[in-house]
Structure 1
Amino acid sequence: MPERPLLNFQADGSALYAIQSLWTQAREGLNITTVLFNNRSYACLRDELANVGAQNVGRKCSISVGLTSTS
């Protein structure tokens, strides 16, 4: 394990997929600072829709790939 501090940049959507990484950092006492970026989107899901050629997706689908409220 490196002795120098580490800086981790993470997007909010991907952090929701791997939130346990923050628990591991704390449990192991790792010298890591994590900065979460708030882009309010699950970019990996949005990108997958584009990869399969999905166009003009409906409201429910748009909500599921975003981090905005349903109202």
Structure 2
Amino acid sequence: MDTNFILTEAELVELTGYVLPSKQRMVLDGMGIRYSIRRDGHIRTTWPWLSMVQAKPIQEDIGFNLEALG
């Protein structure tokens, strides 16, 4: 089996910005990236699954009212 096919833990953290599997799942779900969950709860995804994702346009308004802070 080609181990370069599956993202490493470090690559998954770099992709999602999180170490916790629950947070990684949240980010991957939001990106539309397919993944599987191992019995120990860790996330696994592959490079081909990443390549199948269509880029989504960045939304300008993310719901924060910055004027309320000042």
TM-score bucket of the superposed structures, by smaller chain? under 0.3
Rg (Cα) greater in structure: 1
Give the structure with the larger strand fraction: 1
Taking structure 1 as the reference length, the TM-score comes to: 0.25
